[in-house]
A = this chain, B = another copy of it.
Amino acid sequence: MKSDSFPYPLQRIGIIGGGQLGKMTAQVAKRMGFYVTVLDRSANCPSAHVADALIVGDLYDGEKLRAIAEVSDVLTYEIEHIDTATLKALFAEGKKIYPAPRVLEIIQDKLKQKQVLDQAGVPVPRYQQVDNLNNEYLQQVTFPIVQKARTGGYDGKGVAILKSMADVDKILPVPSMVEEYIPFSKEIAVMVARNRQHEVVCYPVVEMVFDERTNICDIVAVPARIDPAMSERAQQIAIKAIEALDGVGVFGVEMFLTNNDEILVNEIAPRPHNSGHYTIEASVTSQFEQLVRIICNLPLGASKLLSPAAMWNLLGEEGYQGTPVIEGLGSALSVQGLSFHLYGKDTTQPFRKMGHVTIIDDSVAAALDKVEQVKTMLKIKA
């Protein structure tokens, strides 16, 4: 058989984690003819009924990781919180895993992540390792500072902004990294896709708006309304960051655009990222398809933007818990250019990511106006 021939099913893909990112990856893989197995703790996870098989188990359970490896030609993951020891052992045994467990391990530790970037000359905020953040330490800093737990954080959790000595009770009692607080004009992000041959495709710069109550990304707009030269610099920095990690896969690179027109890398996700959801509707190749292509050693797709777009995360409404009720769906779907994604989580909680909408329109401003309209209509209650 020729090297460019694939028997059906093309390849067996294992996705570690069955949340919304796993679901969207599985859906594109099934469209393309792959066999997909998902590992997740819950039999009712979003990926449960869109893939060929589901293994129910904890992502820190080495036996379950071995079970999904067993039935898959290649593994990837949709979440950082996994037992890397087993992944590294599987990798050493020759299992194909993208991004490599070594990259995941670096990213899991925010301090190591920053050090690797810093040493490669990627601009980052000033940072310091602080194993035990205490009163004494606070007495010698210039406020505000940002404390980040080295491991285990997500969606704004594991981060404390300390503005004065009065914030002493906000201190996270864990090994951490302290960063200067960056007064930024915008938070921006770039998706970078890098394949096994180290070819790179870079998506346009997006701007992110965060929910102030929770520090969860609320709205993503693309293309970012920034100077084109700045956009290009952001893309170059993002690529440099992924090259510094020698990452193979799809990566979300979050950055600050500072008040002094500096660009500093904040954090990297070694997987499809919330800031790239818009690529499903607005790009030639979505971030999810790009990941499938990369891990199966198929050529990269085009990242060209077909239309300006805005994405809004549908978070569970405050004060509601239980089986979700989607309020205002009909009104929302009457907004032209809107695509609706409901992840299929059977329980809502305040601020839980339950779905998202993407709106494409002739300009970012027009798309953002529609997002504001839709925010008044569409709510996840219970």
Chain A residues with CB under 8 Å of chain B are 1-10, 24, 27, 30-33, 36, 49-53, 284-285, 289, 293, 297-299, 301-302, 304, 306-307, 323-331, 333-334, 336-346, 355, 360, 381
* CB < 8 Å neighbour of A284 from B7, B297, B360: B360
Q: Are A337 and B284 in contact (CB under 8 A)?
A: yes
The 3 closest A-B pairs by CB, nearest first: A33-B342, A299-B334, A8-B324
Q: Is the CB of A336 within 8 A of B302?
A: yes
- Are the C-beta atoms of B299 and A31 separated by less than 8 Å? no
User: Which one, B8, B50, B336, contacts A342 given CB within 8 A?
Assistant: B8
| A247–B218 CA distance with the chains assembled, in angstroms | 40
> B31 near A293 (CB under 8 angstroms)?
no
CA distance A369 to B114 in the complex (A): 47
Q: Is the CB of B284 within 8 A of A333?
A: no
With A33-B343, A307-B306 in contact, do A5 and B327 touch (Cβ < 8 Å)?
yes
Known A-B contacts A49-B52, A284-B336, A293-B333; A31 and B341 likewise in contact (beta carbons under 8 Å) = yes
From known contacts A33-B344, A51-B49, A52-B49, infer whether A4 and B337 are also in contact, taking CB-CB under 8 Å: no
Tell whether A32 pairs with B340 under 8 Å between CB atoms, given A323-B8, A331-B4.
yes
Main secondary structure of the interface of A (DSSP, over half): loop
Q: In the complex, what residues of B have CB within 8 A of residue A344's CB?
A: 8-9, 30, 33
- Complex Cα spacing A284 to B358, Å: 11
Contact of A326 among B8, B49, B327, B329 (CB under 8 A): B8
Closest to A329 in B: B6
12 of the cross-chain contacts (CB-CB < 8 Å) are A10-B326, A10-B342, A27-B27, A31-B341, A32-B341, A33-B343, A284-B337, A285-B339, A298-B330, A299-B333, A301-B333, A306-B307
Are the C-beta atoms of A333 and B9 separated by less than 8 Å?
A: no
Q: CA–CA, A382 to B60, complex, Å?
A: 40
A4 (CB) vs chain B CBs: closest residue: B330
Q: Say how far A39's CB is from chain B's closest CB, in angstroms.
A: 16
Task: Output the least CB separation between A78 and chain B (Å).
Answer: 16
